[in-house]
Structure 1
């Protein structure tokens, strides 16, 4: 048990840091005006809002055509000599 006493100072510092961050962070969240919140919600619910804000990624090279697998192993044909 005595070997774990060296953890106490670091645990106390961690708890104090968490409490300080929680105290400082709560001040930054003010009350949002109702009209502003309604406009933000309406903008987020628009059907084309996602397309407008996040364009599809472009690729430098075209995607290669994938071979269609039939699930059957086929040997290459031999030429008749």
Structure 2
């Protein structure tokens, strides 16, 4: 039984952490639906300017053939 006493502090900390996380994740009062819709409308109505033009990808020069890398020649010997 004495061997298990070292588990007590860890168990206490675990229980306290579980209680703290449960308290943080509790259900809170939700804002009014009209307020949420007004926020959504305001956010969607905003126009955001482009900061930069996206780079265009270079065209792939496909030859229709699969080309393997050449192997380096082995030194004699």
Q: Per the shorter chain, which TM-score range?
A: 0.3 to 0.5
Structure with the larger helix share? 1
TM-score, normalization: structure 1? 0.40
Of structures 1 and 2, the one scoring higher in RCO (CA 8 A, sep 6+) is: 1
